[in-house]
Structure 1
């Protein structure tokens, strides 16, 4: 199977999620706009994490001949999104805030940093 299509799909959801997530971190919380964009952000992050699980690791140790350490960040995302959702539904703003910061930092910043490292597909696309 050609996994490049999965990489395009992954990028098509993670780039908007990064932009929306950055915006949400900077604006006033609890507004209708925050809530609407937050739902889009969370769904985008869930989808991109699920897509990434179908992409085989290209570097480092492999588990089950497919998964690498970077996939742990996908699992972190699959945990942080529902946790953040249920925290805010129960009125636990601090729990929601923690989950969203972990999601942004781990699911976007750390994973994105790994994705642009030499030897990775995105690095070859950006650098050549």
Structure 2
């Protein structure tokens, strides 16, 4: 597999989401809440997550265990869309706790866990990092 425009878009939005996530979450924690910062970074993070999930649909790998080029990590695509939908439904219902937990869970699962799996040797990014 080589770097394509789709992979570049996916990687840049995913890395941006990994970096924005903690700041967006932090803006609502502690004594001083920063609702404008939280909302602005939250929308930017959601945009990155949607773009990363959409671009992932077009990234297929026939070398790893797969079904029609889709590997198990692709299961995060519908999970991401459902979680984002659910988080906004919670927000519209005024269920801030549900919104918070959903977004925190999505950050950990789709950004941190999935990000860690991309570093495994045999995957594109893992090969870039660990190969001599």
Q: Same fold (TM over 0.5)?
A: yes
Q: With structure 2 as the length reference, what TM-score do the two structures score?
A: 0.86
Q: How does 1:81-120 map to 2 (within 5 A)?
A: 81-120=84-123
Q: With structure 1 as the length reference, what TM-score do the two structures score?
A: 0.88
Partners of 1:32 and 1:25 lie apart in 2 by: 12
The number of aligned residues is 127
Q: How does 1:9-88 map to 2 (within 5 A)?
A: 9-28=9-28, 31-57=35-61, 60-63=64-67, 65-88=68-91
Verify the 8 A CA contact 2:53 2:80 in the aligned structure 1: yes
RMSD, matched Cα: 2.0
| Distance change (3 Å), C-alpha of 1:43 and 1:67 | same
Partners of 2:61 and 2:106 lie apart in 1 by: 21
Partners of 2:108 and 2:19 lie apart in 1 by: 13
Partners of 1:126 and 1:116 lie apart in 2 by: 7
Partners of 1:19 and 1:74 lie apart in 2 by: 19
Partners of 1:89 and 1:47 lie apart in 2 by: 23
Structure 1 unaligned blocks of 5 or more: none
Structure 2 unaligned blocks of 5 or more: none
Greater Rg, structure 1 or structure 2?
2
Q: Which runs of 4+ in 1 moved over 6 A?
A: none
